[in-house]
Amino acid sequence: MSLLNNSEWYDLARQTNWTPRYVSERELFPPELSDPYGIPVSEWAKFDEPYKVTYRDYVRTQREKDVGAYSVKSAVDRVAFYKTADPGWKALLQLHFGAVPFVEYGSVSAFARMTRFGRGPGMRNMASFGTLDEIRHTQIQMYFGYEFLSVDSAFDWAQKAPNTDNWVVVSERHAFDDVEHTRDAVSSAIMTNFSFEQGFTNLQFIALSADAKRNGDHSFSAMLQTVQSDEARHAQIGEPLLEIMISNGKTAEAQRLVDISFWRVWKQFSALSGVCMDYYTPLAKREHSLKEFVDEFVCQQFMRNLKALGLQKPWYWDEHFLPDVDTFHHAQHIGMYLYRKTGWWNPVASVGPAEREWLETKYPGWNDTYGQVWDVITESILDGNLDKTEPPLLPMLCNMSGLELSGVAGKKWNVKAWHVDLNGRRYHFGSAVDKWIFELEPSRYRSHLSIVDRFVAGLMPPGPDGVYEYMGMAPEERGRCGQDYQWAEAFRNRKAA
């Protein structure tokens, strides 16, 4: 039997905008879930997916990808690799496998809702494959993470994390619920597929994959690559949607969706990828800084796509975003190290003499700012005052990002507080942009309680361990310095000299 070429039947076969007879159109596609922008169905039907793929081809390709990634894994003795890995690389793996799989799992339902409520048949088709992609991403990352469970209990967080109220998890959940899960199919697809996936996943999956290869972690590198090969396809859902929005007079609405989600996702990637790239990746194997990766993948590639569509760079680009690329993750790294007991991974400081030199080269002025904070921490460690390196809980957190309120330290001291008073409650924000997002739609955000709010509201068990119990962290799960403070020793001789 001869088969038709895909191109001969594809467009016709996916024309599934049938006229419902048993329910009304409105019941089948409620605007608040499908399209609150009131764009005609005939317009959504123009959605033309850049990647046309059939189920048969999809399954075959995915199977080949899985065989590729899993065979690299079985060829390499992962546990032996892990045991001798640099403490920084261990911290990176622990953080990645606790923080990423559940976001992938969340994406499954985000795509499933696009499949159900999207108005364009082409969009629904692509989102169906996206749903399957994200199941694969969850499975492969949990599988690879779990392999280390016999040597390190931190990897239990690959599964445990989403069932806890650990502060990092609360921060991620707040951001990705906003972007992926609490809006209509059009808005969440623009925020997820365009801003999040096209804008940022390259950082964690391409850039980090290259770092992994240089660190000899071939199976982690292969895993990241196979995930990103799917992202590159289903991230394309965003562009046709934006084109339809723009040609139907909804440019301002589209721009706003991008502006909100770009910032929300940036904060997450800055803290996760930024700290991993500039601190946890062993210096000898580092090629680019976060800033260099952001410049290539975000400032050039993503901006090119944004402008080609007829949108502008977000309003806060020059004043807030670019300075943030130079600063935010340095401050977050300090916070994660000092409050290490509140994380499931064992962070490394990675600020020995050679690392500091690298940081100064990549971020001129680092020594005069964040370096000054590390001077104090180094001093405390050398003097044996380890308790001074663990400030009391809890730090102030941003009511939008859920991350520590921070600024620029040292000689360029620049710490500003932004707040909003609403119905007798004060909301604190780490930046003018976080505050701007809150004020756009206070009803969306005002009920959320940060970890600090929960503490103040008495929602945590009493006693000094109450916060840890609340976050699901038994004593043996709490992070400690991944280098046992040895990194500071290099400064002892200098001090003596």
Binding interface with Mn ion (CB under 5 A): 104, 134, 137, 231
Helix, strand, or coil (residue 402): coil
Amino acid making up residue 218? H
Q: How many residues does the chain have?
A: 497
Helix axes 101-117, 167-176, angle to 10 degrees: 20
Minimum CB distance to Mn ion smaller for 202 or for 346: 202
Interhelix angle 55-75/218-234, nearest 10 degrees: 170
Find, among 248, 194, 296, the residue nearest to 41 by Cα: 248
Q: How far is the CB of 235 from Mn ion (least distance, A)?
A: 7
For residue 27, the minimal CB distance to Mn ion (Å) is 30
Nearer to Mn ion, 65 or 137 (CB): 137
Q: Which two tokens stand for residue 225?
A: 């690559």
The residue among 103 and 471 lying less far from Mn ion, judged by its C-beta, is 103
- Tokens 């670019």 locate to 322
Minimal distance, residue 130 CB to Mn ion, in Å: 6
- The smaller minimum CB distance to Mn ion, of residues 86 and 231, is found at 231
- How many CB atoms are located within 10 Å of the residue 177 CB? 14
465 φ/ψ angles, rounded to the nearest 5 degrees: -95, 5
**Closest distance to Mn ion from the beta carbon of 243 (Å):** 20
Minimum CB separation from Mn ion for residue 103, in Å?
8
Nearer to Mn ion, 124 or 137 (CB): 137
Residues 348, 280: contact at Cβ < 8 Å? yes
Distance CA 325, CA 316 (A): 13
By C-beta, is 137 or 173 nearer to Mn ion? 137
Q: Among residues 137 and 286, whose Cβ is nearest to Mn ion?
A: 137
Half-sphere exposure of 63 (CA within 13 A, CB side): 6
Tokens of 30: 């409620």
Structure tokens at 326: 């130079």
Beta carbons of 236 and 76 less than 8 angstroms apart = no
Task: Return the residue matching tokens 């494959």.
Answer: 129
Q: Concatenated DSSP letters for 134-150?
A: HHHHHHHHHHHHHTTTT
Of residues 98 and 430, the one with the C-beta less far from Mn ion: 98
Smallest gap from residue 134 Cβ to Mn ion (A)? 5
**Which H/E stretch holds residue 266?**
helix 251-269
- CA 433, 434, 435, 438 dihedral sign is positive
Least CB distance to Mn ion at residue 107 (A)? 5
Tokens of 221: 């590198």
Residue 301 C-beta: closest distance to Mn ion, Å:
17
Question: Which CB atom, from 107 or from 166, has the smaller least distance to Mn ion?
Answer: 107
Question: Which is closer to Mn ion, CB of 184 or CB of 231?
Answer: 231
Distance CA 90, CA 106 (A): 25
| Closest alpha carbon to 167 in 427, 399, 426 | 399
Rounded to the nearest whole angstrom, what is the least distance from the CB of residue 239 to Mn ion in the complex? 15
CA-CA-CA-CA torsion sign (361, 362, 364, 368): negative
Q: Whose Cβ is closer to Mn ion: residue 127's or residue 377's?
A: 127
> Cβ atoms within 10 A of the Cβ of 463, count?
9
- Residue closer to Mn ion by CB (options 231, 278) is 231
User: What whole-number distance in Å separates Cα of residue 385 and Cα of residue 39?
Assistant: 63
User: Would you tell me how many other CB atoms lie within 10 Å of the CB of residue 456?
Assistant: 12
- Nearest approach, Cβ of residue 464 and Mn ion (Å): 39
The CB-of-234 to Mn ion minimum distance in angstroms stands at 6
Residue 7 beta carbon to Mn ion: minimum distance, rounded to whole angstroms: 26
C-beta nearest to Mn ion: residue = 137
Q: Which residues contact 473 (CB under 8 A, 6 or more apart)?
A: 164, 166, 341, 342, 344
